[in-house]
Structure 1
Amino acid sequence: MKDWPGPVSTCWNHWIAVPTGDQAGVMEVLSLSSPTPITFAEAQEVIDADAHGNPDDRHHLSRVFVTPEVDSWTLVIGAWCNPCDSERHEDVLRLCKALSARYGGAQAYYYGEQGDGSAWLVAEHGSVVRRYAATGELDDELLTLGDPLPQEQARRLELGLPADGDPQAASSEQIEEWTWAAFHLAPEIAAAYGVSPFTLTREAKVRGTGVLALTPDAASHGI
């Protein structure tokens, strides 16, 4: 099956990025099963359909696209990877720690392309470096772990805010500006730390075949 890399995105994007070409190993850590070969173009259609489906039927949590090795990275794309979802965030945290213990690093992201916010989770060598959510939800603050990443610090300094994220000396206007900036920060952080699904091109070095795989959620809900 001949395939060319291309951007994979929808209105609501969720993915895990791992610095390895060990697709089978990543799937093993995540307990993914029943892999079916799929192209990037086909995966784009599937992920888009799942994102716009009924969130109550849990079908959107039943499958993910696992890329082939792309520039020495493997991406797992689908709502099941959401690092800020109320039902998924602790499991995604655990899985990223496990992946990072095995491969040195792992990240999980959420990005809403219609101004629906961002979230990022960065783990290294089995520990969480940073988790942050800017989605407008009341529970966003409860997800915060670790110190601000360099990209966060730079944007905060641009706005005249303390780089460490302490809002005590900030005005309400500055906090509002930061909130809006953070809403759009996930793609920038993803690109800085590795490979982003939004910037995949034919020029990327690819090895292997992408697959559509079932998540543990599929089996537990009879999907």
Structure 2
Amino acid sequence: MEVLGLSSPRPITFAEARKVIDADAHGDPDDRPHLSRVFVTPEVDGWTLVIGAWCDPRDSERHEDVLRSCKALSARYGRAQAYYYGEQGDGSAWLVAERGSVVRRYAATGEADDELLTLGDPLPQEQARRLELGLPAEGDLRTASGEQIEEWTWSAFHLAPEIAAAYGVSPFTLTRETKVRGTGVLALTSDATSHGF
């Protein structure tokens, strides 16, 4: 919480946090309160997840801050990631950092500036999916047909949960058997304090 500049933590259950974060995520994107709080999970299988729109690695206002935060967290803890996943077919984005450096940032949301966010080489999950589609694994799509590119884009729209599970823990894979240690909290972000929420 210190590295991210989070404040005013208050204990909250997973069920309560899901309702709050879902409500925030479905608010007006031009209305800043959706960036004002996050759910910081207890330790789950050795990881602490920070969940909320404020952590979106492809958000036009936040992507550079999220990049800096992941680099700082990975410098301190070894590894850190940030993900976006739109369950309604809105796409995926991922940012993987290790030991203070970015390994990969990629966005597949159908937005015109997705390509501008790309950093690093494709991850093994990306490479495998591209090979399945008959595309070059390293990511150069200049020789691909329009149909292949469309297939890749649609496939990449759904990759974030798979990549999260491969590199740490995906919120979608948490079960009653998941090892949990500590208490989750709802915390205010620096965005909340700078905008008076």
What's the secondary structure of 2:3's corresponding residue?
Answer: helix
1:137 matches 2:104: no
Choose which of 18, 22, 25 in structure 2 pairs with 1:44: 18
Choose which of 30, 50, 72 in structure 2 pairs with 1:56: 30
Deviation at 1:54, TM superposition (A): 2.1
Give the structure 1 partner of residue 65 of structure 2: 91
Deviation at 1:188, TM superposition (A): 0.6
Alpha-carbon separation, structure 1, partners of 2:151 and 2:31: 36
Pairs aligned (count): 197
Deviation at 1:101, TM superposition (A): 0.2
List aligned pairs for 1:62-141, cutoff 5 A.
Answer: 62-141=36-115
Give the structure 2 partner of residue 207 of structure 1: 181
Deviation at 1:55, TM superposition (A): 2.1
Deviation at 1:57, TM superposition (A): 2.2
Aligned letter for 2:169? V
Give the structure 2 partner of residue 16 of structure 1: none
Give the structure 2 partner of residue 13 of structure 1: none
Return 5+ residue gaps in structure 2 as ranges: none
Alpha-carbon separation, structure 2, partners of 1:56 and 1:154: 37
RMSD of Structure 2 on Structure 1 (CA)? 0.6
- Using the size of structure 2 for normalisation, the TM-score is 0.99
Return 5+ residue gaps in structure 1 as ranges: 1-26
Runs of 4+ in 1 over 6 A off after TM superposition: none
Aligned letter for 2:60? S
Structure 1, 141-150 or 196-205: larger mean CA deviation: 196-205
Alpha-carbon separation, structure 1, partners of 2:138 and 2:180: 38
Alpha-carbon separation, structure 2, partners of 1:170 and 1:79: 33
- Using the size of structure 1 for normalisation, the TM-score is 0.87
Give the structure 2 partner of residue 184 of structure 1: 158
Quote the sequence identity (%).
Answer: 88
Deviation at 1:199, TM superposition (A): 1.4
Aligned letter for 1:59? P
Give the structure 2 partner of residue 216 of structure 1: 190
Alpha-carbon separation, structure 1, partners of 2:135 and 2:179: 39
